[in-house]
Amino acid sequence: MITSPSNEKIKLVRALQDKRRTREAEQLFVVEGIRLVEEALRARAPIKLVLHTDDLDPRGQAALSELTRLDIPVETVTPKVMAAASDTETPQGLLALATLPSSSLLLPPSFSFALTLDKLSDPGNLGTILRTADAAGVEAVFIAPDTVDVYNPKVVRAAMGAHFHIPIVEASWESLAERLAGLEVWLAEARAGEAYHQVDWRQPCALIIGSEAEGPSAAARRLARHGVHIPMPGQAESLNAAVAAGILLFEVAKQRSRRSRMPRTASRE
CA distance 265 to 212: 37
Partnered with residue 195 across adjacent β-strands are 229
Which residue from 50, 252, 262, 30 is spatially nearest to 132, judged by alpha carbons?
252
Phi and psi at residue 64, to the nearest 5°: -65, -40
Report if residue 263 touches a copy of itself, rule: CB under 8 A: no
For CA atoms 64, 68, 69, 71, the dihedral sign is: positive
- What is the x/- site pattern for a copy of itself, positions 122-141, by CB under 8 A? --x---x--xxxxxxxx---
Task: Choose the stretch contacting a copy of itself; rule: CB under 8 A; options: 57-65, 73-81, 172-180, 192-200.
Answer: 192-200
Report if residue 229 touches a copy of itself, rule: CB under 8 A: no
Query: 6, 90, 104, 198: which one contacts a copy of itself (CB under 8 A)?
Result: 198
User: Which of residues 39 and 149 has its CB atom nearest to a copy of itself in the complex?
Assistant: 39
Report if residue 190 touches a copy of itself, rule: CB under 8 A: no
Using DSSP, state whether 54 is helix, strand or coil. Answer: coil
Report if residue 191 touches a copy of itself, rule: CB under 8 A: no
* Amino acid letter, 148: V
User: 50: burial class by Cβ within 10 Å (0-12, 13-18, 19+)?
Assistant: buried
Q: Which of residues 158-187 bind a copy of itself (CB under 8 A)?
A: 158, 160-162, 165-166
Which residue from 175, 170, 173, 96 is spatially nearest to 140, judged by alpha carbons?
170
CA distance 44 to 34: 15
Report if residue 253 touches a copy of itself, rule: CB under 8 A: yes
Task: Choose the stretch contacting a copy of itself; rule: CB under 8 A; options: 8-16, 85-93, 140-148, 231-239.
Answer: 231-239
List of residues contacting a copy of itself (CB under 8 A): 124, 128, 131-138, 158, 160-162, 165-166, 197-198, 200, 230-240, 242-247, 250, 253-257, 265-269
